[in-house]
Amino acid sequence: MKFKLFSVYVDDQAKALKFYTEALGFVKKTDIPAGEARFLTVAATDDPDGVELLLEPNDNPIAQTYQAALMEAGLPVTVFAVDDIQAEYERLKAIGVVFTQEPTAMGPVTMATLNDTCGNLIQIAQG
């Protein structure tokens, strides 16, 4: 058994696709109409056939409550690995990405937290 797909609720799929591809550097993998929404996934540039992230609409009350509660508590919805957290932090800040936590050493791991503009906090980690 292995990971293939996981999801993150977003308040706007088009905005999320732009942020996750243009800012974070993922590539669009799947884009299939699904009623008023889309089955929309992104993947890592260096592993486009690997694990996919579903940019799932938060168009139901449960998803909206979950997303809002995580944001209010300052909890990230997921963690992405980076090779050089300081360089990635500087690159993202330079293009206007808002961080709620600068790179911080936490034992053997260094983490930073950013706002994905779609209702979520995302953590990046090195270590």
Considering the entire predicted model, what is its pTM? 0.95
Range of the domain at 91: 5-126
What are the pLDDT digits (tens) for 10-50?
999 999 999 999 999 999 999 999 999 999 999 999 999 99
* Dihedral pair phi/psi, residue 70, rounded to 5°: -60, -45
- Give how far the C-alpha of residue 52 lies from the chain's centroid of Cα atoms, to the nearest Å: 11
Where residue 36 sits, what CATH number does that domain have? 3.10.180.10
Total structural domains within the chain: 1
Q: What is the pLDDT of residue 6?
A: 96
Q: What is the pLDDT of residue 98?
A: 98
Q: What is the pLDDT of residue 9?
A: 98
Supply the DSSP string of 27-43, one letter for each residue.
EEEEEEEETTEEEEEEE
C-alpha–C-alpha distance, residues 117 and 61, integer Å:
19
3-state secondary structure of 2: coil
